[in-house]
Amino acid sequence: MPEGQVLELTGLTKRFGAVSAVDSLDARVEPGLVTGFLGPNGAGKTTSLRMLLGLVRPTSGTATIGGKRYTDLASPLQTVGAALEASSFHPGRSAANHLKVYARAAKLPTSRVDEVLGLVGLADVAGRRVGGFSLGMRQRLGLATALLGDPGVLVLDEPTNGLDPEGIRWMRSLLRHLAEEGRTVLISSHLLAEVQQTVDALLIISHGRLVFQGGVEDLADPDEYATVVDAPDRAALSALLDERGIPYQLLRNGFTIRHLEPVEVGALAAGAGIALSNLQSKGASLEDIFLELVSGVRVHASAGGTTVATPTPDTALPDAGVTDAAIPTPAVDPLPAATPVEAEPEPVGDVPSAEPAPSTDMVAIPAPSRAARAASHPPQTEPEQPRPSYSVASTGVIDVVPSAPPRHDGDPVAATDDTEVPR
Amino acid sequence: MSLVAVTRSEYTKQFSTVGWWVLAIVLVVYVAFTAGVLALVFGGVASGRLTGNGPTPQTDGLAGLVYSSASGVGYVFPLLVGTLMVTTEFRHKTLTPTFLATPRRGVVLGGKFFVGIVVGLLYGILGSAAALAAGAGVLSIFGVDPELGSSDTWTLVGRMLLAFALWAVVGIGVGTVVRNQVAAIVIVLAVTLFIEPIVRTLGGLVSGFSDVVKWFPSAASDALVGKTIFGAMSAGGSGSLDWWVGGLVLLGYAVVFLVIGLFTTWRRDVD
């Protein structure tokens, strides 16, 4: 039985010119678990995996498998199986010959070729040229290549891409089974929903930086709940809530109220004689939390060495992020009055002037970007009510950002959008 | 031994796609046609059945000249197959699984080197057989001795096999330096079909120039083989290299390209 190994990334950094694709990434992947490696497109997932596998040379830092770098492994295919993309095949070579090529290189018996082809359900097309394969078949062949050496570590980049629903289910159960055998399984994806049911642990990166590390259950804060309430007479309900000073958010399905139990809301409405048409409690959606994490609206303490000293992301503190030297922003000066704050230097989608990287636009997701913008103007949107949290308009979920206390209200810079930097 | 495993892997890789035999068929047809036409012309003129413009060539050694067309025109095929051995990996991104299986990249190039020699020798055998069959057949029609029993002929064949093997390795070097497949093929064809023939023709006309031209790869290859149509057609074969020097020069080209590639493209990030 092959042994699972611990994968360890330490200060892993890759720069392409001035752009940091991966920025001092520290992470640990344990055996016996399926670990999801998540992040939006362009977050640096594939680059990180390629550094782990010795295909891309890190600018600094190390990535090890059981304490060894990939290039130092005595028998790499028997230690780590990797499937990085569904296109690493010569179209004119048959599936069996493709596997035979790498079986030869790893000194594996060619009988192993038929075994893995059977395992991934490609035994019938073993002799067919890969050029005629569908994306799903290529994914299966990539997985077969990864399983060839019966490795203790599996690294799969977007393994469910192109699979039909049945194939996705098969892949999930296979990955679970492999992890239960004690192997280390690391799969990347840009969708939390895609891996949510499969993974035990999560690594989330954004703009090359770790924003979350931990179990799926750690992702959602149990204190974070909301009540959705609706009434035929919405005007009366909103008047009641305004009167009580209860913040709410009006969405298509009704009013979303934070930190209030349905029983409290119901009692309130009953007291005011308002008939309700809907009253339910709502947990935070993991997908929303994920989107907020990658957009920088939400900061999680598990982000290791990159974690903030203050729990406030730089979106709420315009003078925090730009003081960090790690951001490639030579043109941007910190605020003259700013004291250097050790803050999350995560570049956020809505500060294009502070982030010269062209990739910023690609990673910016409209919804969290708007959310981030909303977060950066607490004094303007809710000037008279500084609260520890406020709503995020598009997602319907609380973010945990407290209002920024040290704002220079007289400072013209603080009042403007934080994309405006003093020149 | 990892190098043995890698060489076996590269061998499987090379012979599990159609590329090698498509090129081999073209090689055989091309060489047979060239050797046949040369035998027709030289044999016809030498035997007096065709009227030549210049002095009548001697029938002595004519067969060797005809047979040498295998490497004289066919060397582009081992060169191409060697180039494709490397650029195909870049083009189809198979370098990723290759380097995953063998993270020590220099060893991969070593495996390709040995398989390149095998494929080069195979092409040499096919090319020589095509030249001998077509050339000897046509020569005997004109009553010219095909010299198949002569040791000179078989020495020539041996040196041609060596030239083919070296050209395949030069091709691997070219492919390692120029990793874009289309660019590599265009460069190989442009150099072998236009640049070198033109420069070598000029070298035969301008004095002093030939001292430079003789170091060109195809000139070195012709020197290695010993006989060449090019040498026979361009006047004054001044200053050709010794056959063994020609072989070393060709090997030198291969080594220089391989070393440049090993320290540039081969070390780069794979994506």
A49 and A193 part of one domain: yes
Chain B residues in contact with A78 (beta carbon < 8 A):
none
CATH number of the CATH domain containing A72: 3.40.50.300
Q: Which helix (H) or strand (E) holds B3?
A: helix B2-15
Which chain A residues are Cβ-neighbours of B19 within 8 angstroms? 92
pLDDT for B212 equals 82
Same domain membership, residue A186 and residue A245: no
**Domain co-membership, A41 together with A16:** yes
The verdict on residue A178 lying in a domain is yes
Please indicate if any CB of chain B lies within 8 Å of the CB of A106.
yes
Q: Which of B5, B17, B88 sits opposite A104 (nearest CB)?
A: B5
CB A149 within 8 A of CB A77: yes
Query: Does residue A399 form part of some domain?
Result: no
**Chain A environment of B11 (Cβ under 8 Å):** 104
Q: Which of A46, A73, A90 sits opposite B88 (nearest CB)?
A: A90
Chain B contact present for A97, CB below 8 A: yes
Contact A400, A221 (CB under 8 A): yes
**pLDDT of amino acid B129:** 96
Full DSSP string of A113-146: HHHHHHHTT-GGGTTSBGGG--HHHHHHHHHHHH
CA distances to A151, B84, B107, B246 from B90, in Å: 26, 10, 17, 31
Residues B92, A88: C-beta atoms closer than 8 Å = yes
Q: What span, in angstroms and rounded, lies between the C-alpha atoms of B220 and B262?
A: 24
Residues A136 and A257 in one domain: no
User: If you compute the radius of gyration of chain A from its CA atoms, what whole number of angstroms results?
Assistant: 25
**Closest chain A C-alpha to B108 CA, distance in angstroms:** 9
The stretches in chain B having pLDDT less than 70 are 1, 52-60, 228-239
Which residue in A has a C-alpha nearest to residue B98's C-alpha? A102
User: B58 is written with which tokens?
Assistant: 């001697």
Sheet arrangement for strand A7-16: A19-29, A7-16, A60-65
Residue A84, chain B, CB below 8 Å: the answer is: yes
Claim to verify: residue A63 and residue A95 sit in the same structural domain: yes
**C-alpha dist (Å) from residue A56 to A86, A120, A156, B239, B268:** 18, 28, 16, 49, 8
Residue A384 included in any domain:
no
- Reading chain A (423 residues) residue by residue, the pLDDT tens digits are 678 899 999 999 999 988 889 999 999 999 999 999 999 888 899 999 999 999 999 999 999 999 999 999 999 999 999 999 867 899 999 999 999 999 999 999 999 999 999 999 999 999 999 999 999 999 999 999 999 999 999 999 998 888 899 999 999 999 999 999 999 999 999 888 888 888 999 999 998 899 999 888 887 766 667 788 888 888 888 888 888 888 888 888 788 887 788 888 888 889 888 899 888 887 667 777 888 888 777 787 777 544 333 333 333 333 433 333 333 434 434 444 444 444 444 444 343 343 333 333 333 333 334 444 444 444 443 444 433 333 333 333 333 333 344 444 444 433 333 333 333
Considering only CB atoms, which chain B residues are within 8 Å of A84? 96
Q: Do B270 and A107 touch (CB under 8 A)?
A: no
The secondary structure of chain B in percent helix, strand, coil, rounded to multiples of 5, reads 75, 0, 25
pLDDT score of A1: 63
Assigned domain for A196 exists? yes
Residue A415 domain flag: no
Which residues in B lie closer than 8 A to residue A77 (C-beta atoms)?
Answer: 100-101
Q: Judge: B103–A71 Cβ closer than 8 Å, yes or no.
A: yes
pLDDT in tens, A246-265: 888 888 878 888 778 888 88
For residue B238, give the 3-state DSSP assignment. coil
Split into its structural domains, chain A has a count of 2
Q: How many CB pairs under 8 A join A and B?
A: 84
Using CB atoms, which residue from B5, B9, B94 is nearest to A90? B94
In a domain, A330, yes or no: no
Looking at the complex, report in whole angstroms how far the Cα of residue A107 sits from the nearest Cα belonging to chain B. Answer: 6
CATH of the domain at A230: 3.30.70.100
Flag whether A279 is in a domain. Answer: yes
Boundary (domain end) residue, out of A283, A303, A327: A283
The Cα-based distances of A157 to A53, A58, A147, A190, B98 in angstroms read 12, 19, 14, 10, 17
Q: Sign of the C-alpha dihedral, residues A136, A113, A50, A168?
A: positive
Count Cβ neighbours within 10 Å for each residue of B24-34 and write b for 16 or more, e otherwise. Answer: beebbebbbeb
Q: Which two tokens stand for residue A178?
A: 């492999």
Q: Are B155 and B224 in contact (CB under 8 A)?
A: no
Which residues of chain A neighbour B16 with C-beta distances below 8 Å? 93-94, 97, 100-101
Residues A38 and A172 in one domain: yes
The answer to whether A226 touches A254, Cβ cutoff 8 Å, is no
CA distance A9 to A25: 6
Number of Cβ atoms within 10 Å of the Cβ of A401:
24
- Residue A304: predicted pLDDT: 53
Cβ of B92 within 8 Å of Cβ of A90? The answer is yes
Provide the residue range defining the domain that includes A266: 225-283
Cβ-proximal residues to A54 (8 Å cutoff; 6+ apart), any chain: A69, A70, A71, B99, B103
| Helix/strand/coil percent split, chain A, to 5 | 35, 20, 45
Q: Which of A219, A234, A269 marks a domain boundary? A: A219
Contact across the interface for A85 and B96, Cβ inside 8 Å? yes
Q: Which of A57, A87, A104, A156 to mutate to test the interface with B (most CBs of B within 10 A)?
A: A104
Each residue's pLDDT tens digit, A284-342? 677 778 888 887 777 877 775 443 333 333 333 334 333 333 334 344 344 444 444 44
Q: Are residues A230 and A123 in the same domain?
A: no
Cβ <8 Å between A104 and B9: yes
By Cβ distance, the residue of A54, A77, A88 closest to B94 is: A88
Q: Do B269 and A57 touch (CB under 8 A)?
A: yes
| Same-domain status, A210 and A276 | no
B145-188 confidence digits (pLDDT tens): 888 888 888 999 999 999 999 999 999 999 999 989 999 999 99
Return the pLDDT at A263.
87
B258 and B113 Cβ atoms separated by less than 8 Å: yes
> How far, rounded to the nearest angstrom, does the alpha carbon of residue B127 sit from its chain's CA centroid?
10
Residue A288 lies in a domain: no
- For B11, nearest residue in chain A (alpha carbons): A101
Name which of A85, A93, A105 is nearest B16 (Cβ-Cβ).
Answer: A93
A206 and A234 co-located in one domain: no
Residue A221: φ, ψ to 5°: -85, 120
DSSP 8-state class, residue A16: E
| Alpha carbons A148 and A98: distance in angstroms, whole number | 11
Minimum Cα–Cα distance from B87: chain A residue: A90
Residues A241, A211, single domain; the answer is no
**How far is the C-alpha of A66 from the C-alpha of A68, rounded, in Å?**
6
Structure tokens at B101: 């299986």
Identify all chain B residues contacting A92, using CB atoms and an 8 Å cutoff: 17-19
Nearest residue on chain A to B111, alpha-carbon basis: A105
Asked whether residue A165 falls in the same domain as residue A18, the answer is: yes
- What is chain B's alpha carbon radius of gyration, rounded to the nearest angstrom? 20
Mutation choice for A interface testing from B13, B100, B105 by most A CBs within 10 A: B100
pLDDT value, residue A217: 80
Q: Over the range B214-225, which residues count as b (16 or more CB within 10 Å of their CB) and which as e? A: bebbbbbbbbbb
Number of C-alpha atoms within 13 angstroms, CB side, residue A92?
A: 14
Nearest chain B residue to A71 by CA distance is B103
Shared-domain flag, residues A195 and A60: yes
- Select the residue of B11, B97, B269 nearest A56 (Cβ to Cβ): B269
Of the partner residues B6, B12, B103, the one whose CB lies closest to the CB of residue A73: B103
Cα separation, A42 vs A64, whole angstroms: 23
Find the CB nearest A82 among B93, B100, B104: B100
Q: Show which of residues 132-171 on chain A sit within 8 Å of chain B, judged by CB atoms.
A: 145
A326 in contact with B at a CB cutoff of 8 Å? no
Put simply, the answer to whether B101 touches A106 (Cβ < 8 Å) is yes
Beta bridge partners of residue A409, listed in sequence order: none
Instruction: Tell whether ipTM is more than 0.85.
Output: yes
Show me where the domains of chain B are located: 2-266
Chain-chain contact of B96 with A94 (C-beta, under 8 angstroms): no
The whole-angstrom distance between B84's CA and the closest CA on chain A is 12
